[in-house]
Amino acid sequence: MTHDMNTSHPVDLAQFLNTAWSALAPQIVADKRKAQVVTLSTVGQGGAPAARSVVLRANDRSRASVDIFTDAATPKCAEITNDPRAALTLWHADFQLQLRLSGTIEIIEGTQAHAAWSSLPDLALPNYGVSPSPGSNIPTPTSYTRQPDQARFAILRMTLFDMDVVSLAAPIHIRAFYERRDGWRGLWRVP
Ligand SMILES: Cc1cc2nc3c(=O)[nH]c(=O)nc-3n(C[C@H](O)[C@H](O)[C@H](O)COP(=O)(O)O)c2cc1C
């Protein structure tokens, strides 16, 4: 990533939104420690917030959506089925940018998820098909097996309602709020 927010201050809302979408670009990295990790929050059982780390896999600015891959047997999928509202939080250190996104998640499985499954490296396939299912109690730390199962692969497609963007790149911090319902025009906000 070559973009450096330290040398380019956003001059208008549209440019700032472009920077935000750049921060949402999925990074294809050989070293998984360099992947862009984000926090996905859902409405947990009983209505309490539930949050976990996930990796951004794709985005589509034309429909304002981002994709995450998961095992369909994880508890988060049941939570999303129960209530599709979600929040996604990300700190992009290179851009010195925080993004807070809200929206709803659609779970995409089966033939619609086939292309994404086919694009996964072999090493990643066993992440989808752990038995017993993720979150189950087990007697020892290794009392589980990993067997790739395409039927367990799911894309979580989050369609955004709004986006809150904070930049700490310049001495004067900058914040803007963008909403789908006003065509992502945006408003400046006090950080
Ligand atoms: C750095 C990191 C990246 C992760 N990426 C993903 C991911 O892309 N998809 C996913 O389902 N779980 C991912 N996990 C595991 C989740 O954080 C979580 O433990 C698991 O999905 C079960 O979540 P749930 O019980 O809320 O469903 C990741 C964990 C870490 C530490």
Classify residue 165: in a domain, yes or no.
yes
Q: Which helix (H) or strand (E) holds 17?
A: helix 13-23
- Please state the domain count of the chain: 1
d(CA 16, CA 165): 8
- The predicted pLDDT at position 35 comes to 74
Is residue 147 situated within a structural domain?
Answer: no
The CATH number covering residue 175 comes to: 2.30.110.10
52 lines ligand 1 (CB under 6 A): yes
State the burial class of residue 120 (Cβ atoms within 10 Å of its Cβ: 0-12, 13-18, 19+). middle
Site to probe by mutation for ligand 1, drawn from 37, 41, 54, 83 as the one with most ligand atoms within 8 Å of Cβ, is 54
Any ligand 1 atom below 6 A from CB of 152: no
pTM beyond cutoff 0.85: yes
Tell me what pLDDT residue 63 has.
97
Report the C-alpha gap between 102 and 106 in whole angstroms: 13
Asked whether residue 151 is assigned to any structural domain, the reply reads no
Question: In the chain, which residues have pLDDT < 70?
Answer: 1-10, 27-34
Is 137 a domain residue? no
Q: What percent of the chain clears pLDDT 90, i.e. is strictly above it?
A: 84
- Residue 64 lies inside a defined structural domain of this protein: yes
Return the residue whose CA atom lies nearest to atom 4 of ligand 1.
54
Domain that residue 100 falls in? 13-110+156-189
Q: Is residue 135 part of a domain?
A: no
Q: Strand (E) positions, 93-180?
A: 97-108, 130-131, 145-146, 153-167, 174-179
Q: How far is CA 28 from CA 1, 35, 74, 107, in A?
A: 11, 7, 24, 22
Q: What is the pLDDT of residues 13-31, one digit of tens each?
A: 999 999 999 999 886 655 6
Of 4, 1, 2, nearest to 167 (Cα)? 4
Is 4 part of any domain? Answer: no
Does residue 134 lie in a domain region?
Answer: no
State whether the beta carbon of 33 lies less than 6 angstroms from ligand 1: no
Output the CA 124–ligand 1 centroid distance in Å.
Answer: 13
Positive or negative, the CA dihedral 182, 49, 169, 6 is negative
